[in-house]
Amino acid sequence: MPTSPRTFAAISLVGGVLAFSPPAIASPSVVTVTLDNKPISDALPDQLGMAMPMADMSKAVMSAKAPPSTVPAGDVTFVATNKSPEFVQEMVLVTDPQKQLPYSDGDGRVTEPGTYMLFCNLPGHYMAGMWTTITVQ
């Protein structure tokens, strides 16, 4: 079966705070996402994407932080804040696009544990360091 990237959330932020959550049945975990950048006067670095060879994250001018980095399986609320005074940011959450989703025939649904990547997919932002990972256990 061919696999393809699966986007679970894509939210554009124009400053301020945005909360995204599916309807909650039980008390959800909360992940506080902060999207930010250092002052940028030159071209964005272009080799800081996840697992890029030669990535020197000390050169990152953009960042995505999302504590806690590990949450229990179940409902998760993402509270995202764009701290950048100059850039619109986007929050995209995906599973590993290289792997097939872990489908449980017995449950008839995708199991939630695993590692997810959260990143901004606006031009240049991901490669400038605006990404992080979240593990669901």
- Going by the DSSP 8-state scheme, the letter that residue 79 receives in this structure is E
Give the global pTM. 0.72
For 125-136, what is the mean pLDDT?
92
Residue 118 burial (CB count, 10 A): 23
pLDDT in the model for residue 120 = 93
The tens digit of pLDDT for each residue in 84-102 reads 888 899 999 888 767 777 7
Structural domains of the chain sorted by starting position, each given as residue range(s) with its CATH number in brackets: 7-136 (2.60.40)
Contact 130, 83 (CB under 8 A): no
DSSP state string for 22-57: PPPSSPPEEEEEEEEE----SPPPSS-STT-TT--G
- As a whole number of angstroms, the distance between CA 136 and CA 70 comes to 6
Backbone region of residue 121 per phi and psi (left: phi > 0; alpha: psi in -120 to 50; beta: other values): alpha
Average pLDDT, the chain: 79
- Give dist(CA 115, CA 96) in Å, integer: 7
pLDDT of residue 36: 94
